[in-house]
Chains A and B, each alone.
Chain A
Amino acid sequence: MRGFPWRETIRAGLLGSVVALHVSLVGMVEAFSRREIVKDVVTLGQLLLLLVVLSAGYWAASKASKRNKVYGLLAGLIVGVIIGLVLAALALSIKPLHMRQVFANASRGLTRVLLFNKKGLAGVATLLAVMGGGGLVAGLLEILPSRVRRPLLYALTAALTLGLLRDIFAVILPRSISRFFYTSSGLTVKGAVVLVVAWALYFTASEMWGQRVRSSLEALPPSQQKTLRWGSYLVALIILLILPPLLGERGGYVFEVLDIVGIYIVMGLGLNIVVGFAGLLDLGYVAFFAIGAYTMAVLTTPELPAVRQYIPPLDFWEALPFALLASLLSGIILGVPVLKTRGDYLAIITLGFGEIIRLLVISDALKPILGGAQGITGVARPHLLGWAAKTPQDFFYFILVAIAIGFFISVRLKDSRLGRAWKAIREDEDVAIAMGIDHVATKLTAFATGATLAGLSGAIFSSKLFSIAPHSFNILISIYVLSLLIVGGIGSLPGVVVGAFALVGLPELLREFAEYRMLVYGAALVVMMIYRPEGLWPETLHVAEYKHHTSSTTEATTASAGAGK
């Protein structure tokens, strides 16, 4: 065993153990174990522990396998066993040590989950076998060549994700297919096998031929590439449009989730202009969302006699311009005092602004106008030619339109004179000013545009919920929106969509997450900032532009070569 990295291996095992103990004792493992991913095989709770083992084991194996492949396997195994032993110790000591008095979640249930529903030694043996096996798999994955490892990992991830999203797919798939893949909770065993194999084939194929397909696509003339791109956008749009009638009644839950994600996408697009383009860190963004929502509610509800004696309730379309105008103006009002502040100071001021709006809305003094802590009910629904929106599917269309507007504005402004001025201010405000950029107008336009999109989002939100209450507008919303930008890739438009699905869609689907949402957010942000600070889907404009530039020069050379023939 010369040169085996004992220190690193044991350190990885202990670090993994700490994480495993933590997720167990905060109750995540037990709560997650109620969701099965593959029926009677693996639950989300077990998967969580396995993920810990896999990452710790992989890390240790990558250190050890440098010298010898077998060392890699061994290191993975050792890490798995260490974590298994620590968890076994936890499981066995919960009852005799009365740990529940200190750790509320150290329950008998946790013991049961950790020991795989077995008693005593049999349980410990199972736990050790599973954890050790997990470590071994981690080591195996590490020493496999990456062209095998990657498809395998992707296939497992894809299949498990599909298992996790049972509530969506079991509903929207036709009965016969869904019966094959899904049980009342999680995947069926045969379904899981089929999925892993199918995904593995797909990813292997894309590994082998993907590059060739991509480069042959890039070799197409730009006009054809453009047609292709717009064609794929069109197909996606058509799918989105026909999805609601296709799913009919069954889709209610799916669209409930999609609507929430969509509302966050609209907000994300707005905040992306403020933070991503102009670099103005706004932590009170929820304020504009609230202003849009409350303007819509106050103007349309039949309640609130104090208001109704002056203005009759408006309908959705009459109130919408006012909601947008109110949020736009509030964006400017916030913008003026913060013009001279930068960075941390700006963040603190905007944070305060968000709180001011929330406290105004909840206050008793303004109760006759804003409804106080109970909020307002009876918000108008949008209607079109006698048809009124009621179901989540109906609102889905409105939200799609709002997203389209947000995208359109962002795309058009991004590379315009205004967009360049925003980016210049983000990069170096002093120099931007020295280039003759009017930073007052530029910043205010960013605030106003972002605020208006948030207002639009809020107006749709309040109408969709039919009623609104102050607790929907707390600081966490601002944090969620900012986090989804960071996770997706700040400044990137597809990143907003990806971030919204990852940070809003997933927790919405997995209600077990609710309690641990902030914990998961925090961990996700830390991991992102260390390993992928540019986000899941970073801005690619420069690369694309550069490629286009070089491809046009190659085109020129091929053209001249053709002429020479």
Chain B
Amino acid sequence: MGALDIINVTKRFGGLVAVNDVTIIVEPQTIHSIIGPNGAGKTTLFNCITGFYRADEGEIIFDGEPIQYLPPDEIARMGIARTYQNIRLFSNLTVLENVLVGMHSHLHSWFIEPILGLASYKREEAEAREEAMRLLEFVELEDKAFFLSKNLPYGEQRRLEIARALALKPKVLLLDEPTAGMNPRETEETMALIRRLRDERGITIVLIEHDMKVVMNISDVISVLDYGQKIAEGTPLEIRTNPRVIEAYLGRGAAMGLSEAA
């Protein structure tokens, strides 16, 4: 049993089968990439895992429990965090507040504690702030803690989104195209960051990515989706030489990036 087991999951939208009988076992503390052409069902699969879509068939097992019927906030509290393909920060909150929102499920105060100004509440908030600052240091944003997040440059917004997801203390982190729109240097830095997440924090990473250099470089395992179906799975080397993948996916123009990476 892996850190996250996706077993025979199918998701339909009317007549369209967006995810078709997909089984992916994500091993603990690995970087597991999911690739495939546009519309292959990658983001739909993410939405099924995080509970925003309900899988029509199949099971998703996390922490030994089926989670496909749980509401999204409960799944998040169990330890699955995600980032988004198009950055979705809380744009009118400060950088620090964004991270603090991510820590929501690890804090306890509600209505009455802040009203009474209890000592335990103040301690909890102070500790939360400290921890949030540590996370911001981890992604090198501590200098911008009091900026509105909408005022950050693009690359920093991506890093803040990762910091916010980390604040959830996830066991599994789903990253949806984390290097999209980045220049080569930023991409390099993000890859290093993702590796550190696995190696230093022991987080299992599921990655959707279009940049073949990133995928081939960083992944322990790659699953390939096409038209909602899993057509191949294996190490980067296996995927690179798999004839079905080359035919269905890499044949369509991406082969160049592949040969460069090789």
Contacts and interface: CB of A to CB of B under 8 A. Distances in A.
B46 to A, nearest CB: 10
A416 interface: yes
Interface in A406-436: 408-409, 412-413, 416-421, 423-424, 427-428, 430-436
Contacts of A449: 111
A436 B168 contact: yes
Given A430-B52, A436-B77, A445 B146 contact: no
A421 B104 contact: yes
Interface residues of A, number: 30
Given A420-B97, A427-B92, A427-B93, A436 B73 contact: yes
B172 to A, nearest CB: 13
Given A413-B115, A433-B72, A434-B72, A542 B146 contact: yes
B249 to A, nearest CB: 28
A439 B73 contact: yes
B90 interface: yes
Given A412-B117, A427-B93, A546-B146, A432 B101 contact: yes
Contacts of B72: 433-434
A556 to B, nearest CB: 14
Contacts of B81: 434-435
A439 B117 CA distance: 24
A438 interface: yes
A549 B111 CA distance: 28
Given A420-B93, A436-B77, A438-B73, A431 B84 contact: yes
Interface in B112-142: 113-115, 117, 121, 125
Contacts of A430: 52, 88
A437 interface: yes
Contacts of B101: 420-421, 423-424, 432, 435, 437
A428 B111 contact: no
B145 A549 contact: yes
A344 interface: no
Nearest to A421: B104
Contacts, number: 100
B93 A437 contact: no
A418 B109 contact: yes
A431 B50 CA distance: 11
Nearest to B110: A418
A433 B100 CA distance: 14
A427 B150 CA distance: 11
B164 interface: yes
A421 B102 CA distance: 10
A433 B76 CA distance: 8
Given A417-B109, A417-B110, A418-B109, A431 B88 contact: yes
Contact of B111 (A418, A437, A546): A418
Contact of B88 (A428, A545, A549): A428
A436 B76 contact: yes
Given A423-B97, A424-B90, A436 B104 contact: yes
Contacts of B71: 433
Contacts of A409: 115
Contacts of A420: 93, 97, 100-101, 104
A424 B74 CA distance: 17
B94 A545 contact: yes
A427 B91 contact: yes
B167 to A, nearest CB: 8
Contact of B90 (A412, A413, A419, A431): A431
A449 B101 CA distance: 21
Contacts of B90: 423-424, 427-428, 431-432
19 contacts: A412-B114, A413-B111, A416-B113, A417-B109, A423-B90, A424-B90, A424-B93, A428-B90, A431-B84, A434-B52, A434-B73, A434-B76, A435-B101, A435-B102, A436-B76, A437-B104, A445-B111, A449-B111, A542-B94
Interface of A: 408-409, 412-413, 416-421, 423-424, 427-428, 430-439, 445, 449, 542, 545-546, 549
